[in-house]
Amino acid sequence: MTKYVYAFSEGNKDMKDLLGGKGANLAEMTNMGIPVPPGFTITTEACLTFLREGGAPSEMLAEAGEHLVTLQRAMGKSLGDPGDPLLVSVRSGAKFSMPGMMDTVLNLGLNDASVEGLAKQTGGDMRFARDAYRRFIQMFGKIVMDVPGDAFEHAMDEAKGAKFDGAQDTDLDADDLSALILRFKALYREHTSEDFPQDPKDQLRLAIDAVFSSWNGKRARDYRRQNKISDDLGTAVNVQTMVFGNRGEDSGTGVAFTRDPSTGEKVPYGDYLSNAQGEDVVAGIRNTLPLVKLEELDPVSYGELLQVMHTLEMHYRDMCDIEFTIEKGRLWILQTRIGKRTAFGEWVMAAEMLDDGLIDEDAALLRVDANRLEELFKRRVEADGATAIAKGLNASPGAATGAVVFSADEAERWAKEDSARVILVRRETTPDDYHGMIASQGILTSAGGTNSHAAVVARGEGIPAVCGAEQIRLDLEARVFTANGTVVREGDTITIDGFTGNVYVGELPLADSVLEKARQGDADARQEPIWRSFERLMRVADDRRRMRVRANADTPEQSTNARARGAEGIGLCRTEHMFLGSERVQAVQQMIFAETPEEEQAAYDALLPLQRGDFVGIFRAMDGLPVTVRLLDPPLHEFLPDLTELSVEVALGRERGEDVSSQDAVLTKVRQLHEANPMLGLRGVRLGILKPGLYAMQVRAIVEAACEVRRAGGDPKVEIMIPLVATVGELQQLRAELEPVAAEVLAAASVELSHLEWGTMIELPRAAVTAAEIAQAADFFSFGTNDLTQTAFGFSRDDIGKFVGLYEERKLVPANPFVTVDRAGVGRLMQIACEEGRAANDEIHLGICGEHGGDPASVVFCNELGLDYVSCSPFRVETARLAAGQAAVGAAESASK
* Cα–Cα distance, 533 to 428 (Å, whole number): 39
From the list 11, 784, 837, 853, which residue makes contact with Mg ion (rule: CB under 5 A)?
784
Best CA proximity match to 432, nearest among 409, 460, 449, 399: 409
619 and 716 in contact (C-beta within 8 Å)?
A: yes
Catalytic residue among 467, 707, 849, 872: 849
From the list 335, 500, 782, 816, which residue makes contact with Mg ion (rule: CB under 5 A)?
335
Best CA proximity match to 717, nearest among 804, 636, 623, 589: 623
From the list 104, 258, 394, 500, which residue makes contact with ligand ADP (rule: CB under 6 A)?
104
Burial of 888 (0-12, 13-18, 19+ CB in 10 A): buried
User: Which of these ranges, 563-571, 670-678, 784-792, 795-803, lies near Mg ion under the rule CB under 5 A?
Assistant: 784-792
The residue among 256 and 443 lying less far from ligand ADP, judged by its C-beta, is 256
From the list 63, 260, 787, 822, which residue makes contact with Mg ion (rule: CB under 5 A)?
787
Least Å from the CB of residue 92 to ligand ADP: 7
Best CA proximity match to 196, nearest among 130, 136, 114, 116: 136
Binding status of residue 234 toward Mg ion by CB under 5 A: no
Q: Which does 37 bind (CB under 5 to 8 A by kind): ligand ADP, Mg ion, none?
A: ligand ADP
Pairing of strands 235-241, 390-391: unpaired
Binding status of residue 37 toward ligand ADP by CB under 6 A: yes
* Cα–Cα distance, 692 to 200 (Å, whole number): 88
From the list 94, 132, 207, 242, which residue makes contact with ligand ADP (rule: CB under 6 A)?
242
Strand partners, 25: none
Least Å from the CB of residue 146 to ligand ADP: 18
22 and 93 in contact (C-beta within 8 Å)?
A: yes
User: Which of these ranges, 236-244, 589-597, 726-734, 781-789, lies near ligand ADP under the rule CB under 6 A?
Assistant: 236-244
Strand partners, 7: 40
Strand partners, 549: 870
User: Which of these ranges, 47-55, 238-246, 390-398, 796-804, lies near ligand ADP under the rule CB under 6 A?
Assistant: 238-246
Helix axes 149-163, 174-192, angle to 10 degrees: 150
Binding status of residue 323 toward ligand ADP by CB under 6 A: yes
* Cα–Cα distance, 605 to 385 (Å, whole number): 59
Q: What is the largest CA-CA distance in the chain?
A: 108
> Whose CB is nearest to Mg ion?
787
Binding status of residue 252 toward ligand ADP by CB under 6 A: no
The residue among 50 and 324 lying less far from Mg ion, judged by its C-beta, is 324
Q: Which does 784 bind (CB under 5 to 8 A by kind): Mg ion, ligand ADP, none?
A: Mg ion
Q: Which does 89 bind (CB under 5 to 8 A by kind): Mg ion, ligand ADP, none?
A: ligand ADP
User: Which of these ranges, 235-243, 364-372, 648-656, 761-769, lies near Mg ion under the rule CB under 5 A?
Assistant: 761-769
Q: Which does 847 bind (CB under 5 to 8 A by kind): ligand ADP, Mg ion, none?
A: none
Site for ligand ADP in 796-825 (CB under 6 A): none
Binding status of residue 243 toward ligand ADP by CB under 6 A: yes
453 in active site? yes
Please count the other Cβ atoms lying within 10 Å of the Cβ belonging to residue 123.
Answer: 8
Q: How many residues does the chain have?
A: 897
47 in active site? no
Positive or negative, the Cα torsion across 256, 262, 264, 266? negative
* Cα–Cα distance, 710 to 619 (Å, whole number): 9
Site for ligand ADP in 609-638 (CB under 6 A): none
Binding status of residue 94 toward ligand ADP by CB under 6 A: no
Give residue 476's identity as a one-letter amino acid code. Answer: L
Total site size for ligand ADP, rule CB under 6 A: 16
3-state secondary structure of 836: helix
Burial of 480 (0-12, 13-18, 19+ CB in 10 A): middle
Q: Which does 240 bind (CB under 5 to 8 A by kind): Mg ion, ligand ADP, none?
A: ligand ADP
* Cα–Cα distance, 248 to 366 (Å, whole number): 45
From the list 278, 402, 716, 827, which residue makes contact with ligand ADP (rule: CB under 6 A)?
278
790 and 764 in contact (C-beta within 8 Å)?
A: no
Catalytic residue among 67, 453, 637, 845: 453
By rule CB under 5 A, what string of x and - marks binding of each residue 762-781 to Mg ion?
-x------------------
From the list 78, 89, 396, 863, which residue makes contact with ligand ADP (rule: CB under 6 A)?
89
What is the DSSP code string of 468-492? --TTEEEETTTTEEEETTEEEETT-
Catalytic residues: 453, 849
Q: Which residues of the shown chain bind ligand ADP in the complex (CB under 6 A)?
A: 37, 89, 91, 104, 106, 240-243, 253, 278-279, 323, 325, 334-335
Q: Which residues of the shown chain bind Mg ion in the complex (CB under 5 A)?
A: 323, 335, 763, 784, 787
